[in-house]
């Protein structure tokens, strides 16, 4: 038998335990809610970052460029519906890892040096474009002096799903282009990857008509990532089926200033210059001069920052 004071003590202890349990439960609920809120904010932030990357006009990395190229080429092939699909691809080959800012020419070996890098990229693109690829990509050098190669990725599904490509073809390879085009046939896709010609005149007077009939009248764009200088600005052009996009890369190296709305035709140089004058009235040298007057020269900024840190 418990004494009265013992019963009261047990009652108080029981109430205290209940309060402790409620406090712990309340804290657990708050912790779970906080964790859910953190996870939701992280997920929302990831979506925002992903959306920014998707909406970027130019590829953010070589891997992103390859993904975009594969997607655009597939869209172009689907539009052709398996009938005489002939596509240009302009791929911006990344600089070799050993390149430094002091290098005047990052490719001193020219196309011969680029060939190894480009062939690996082309193989990866072909294996991603072809559904159910049948083994590794087949390759053959068509012209060693001109660094022109032929690539074929076969499909297990059907021969019509095969995709062939010519790497670095130039004006001297018109006959090889005709032979490859005939071998590939009208039901399979043929890519011209990083062509070394731009217009029929590049083939000379005697072969101009032949080049127009074989190439320029039949090939359309599958993917492109191009760089050029216009009015001193760093201009980027991209083609992702079915439209061209254009922008100026600002001096910070990250900000993209769009020029034209997406359009099916590639903007010409004069159009780019006129548009740049409209959206950027001050040329680059004036903007850089204004920055120097405001912040000082770059080498002075570094010394000033160092002296301030030393004083602190």
Contact 268, 294 (CB under 8 A): no
Terminal CA-to-CA distance of the chain, rounded, Å? Answer: 76
SS3 223: strand
d(CA 296, CA 289): 9
d(CA 279, CA 258): 9
User: Which pLDDT score is estimated for 284?
Assistant: 85
d(CA 204, CA 234): 32
Strands (E), 252-304: 256-258
d(CA 40, CA 47): 11
**Pick from 247, 234, 253: which is nearest to 279 by CA?**
247
User: Which pLDDT score is estimated for 21?
Assistant: 62
Q: State how far Cα 284 lies from the chain centre.
A: 25
d(CA 194, CA 1): 98
Strands (E), 29-187: 86-90, 138-143, 148-153, 163-167
**Which portions of the chain are predicted below pLDDT 70?**
1-55, 290-312
**Pick from 57, 69, 62, 54: which is nearest to 224 by CA?**
69
pTM of full prediction above 0.95: no
User: Which pLDDT score is estimated for 47?
Assistant: 44
Q: What is the pLDDT of residues 238-259, one digit of tens each?
A: 999 999 999 999 988 899 999 9
Strand partners, 192: 88, 166
SS3 34: helix
d(CA 154, CA 306): 60
User: Which pLDDT score is estimated for 304?
Assistant: 53
**Pick from 119, 54, 67, 79: which is nearest to 225 by CA?**
67
Contact 237, 228 (CB under 8 A): yes
d(CA 44, CA 22): 33
User: Which pLDDT score is estimated for 49?
Assistant: 45
Number of Cβ atoms within 10 Å of the Cβ of 172: 16
Give 110: exposed, middle or buried? Use CB within 10 Å, 0-12, 13-18, 19+. Answer: exposed
Strands (E), 128-281: 138-143, 148-153, 163-167, 189-193, 220-230, 233-240, 243-249, 256-258
């Amino acid at each position: 038998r418990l004494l009265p004071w013992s019963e009261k003590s047990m009652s108080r202890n029981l109430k205290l335990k209940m309060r402790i349990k409620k406090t712990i439960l309340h804290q657990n609920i708050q912790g779970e809610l906080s964790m859910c809120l953190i996870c939701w904010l992280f997920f929302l932030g990831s979506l925002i970052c992903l959306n920014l990357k998707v909406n970027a006009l130019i590829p953010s990395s070589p891997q992103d460029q390859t993904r975009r190229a594969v997607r655009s080429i597939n869209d172009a092939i689907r539009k052709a519906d398996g009938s005489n699909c002939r596509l240009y691809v302009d791929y911006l080959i990344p600089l070799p890892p050993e390149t430094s800012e002091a290098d005047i020419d990052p490719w001193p070996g020219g196309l011969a040096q680029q060939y190894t890098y480009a062939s690996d990229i082309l193989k990866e693109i072909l294996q991603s474009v072809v559904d159910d690829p049948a083994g590794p990509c087949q390759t053959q050098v068509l012209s060693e002096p001109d660094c022109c190669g032929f690539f074929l990725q076969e499909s297990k599904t059907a021969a019509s799903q095969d995709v062939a490509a010519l790497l670095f073809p130039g004006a001297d390879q018109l006959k090889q282009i005709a032979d490859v085009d005939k071998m590939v046939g009208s039901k399979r896709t043929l890519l011209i990857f990083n062509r070394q010609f731009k217009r029929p005149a590049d083939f000379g007077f005697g072969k101009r008509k032949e080049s127009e009939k074989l190439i320029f009248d039949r090939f359309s764009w599958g993917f492109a990532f191009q760089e050029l200088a216009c009015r001193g600005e760093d201009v980027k052009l991209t083609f992702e089926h079915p439209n061209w996009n254009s922008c100026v890369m600002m001096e910070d190296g990250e900000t993209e200033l769009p020029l034209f709305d997406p359009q099916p035709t590639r903007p010409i140089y004069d159009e780019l210059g006129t548009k740049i004058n409209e959206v950027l009235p001050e040329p680059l040298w004036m903007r850089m001069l204004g920055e120097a007057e405001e912040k000082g020269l770059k080498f002075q900024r570094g010394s000033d920052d160092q002296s301030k840190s030393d004083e602190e």
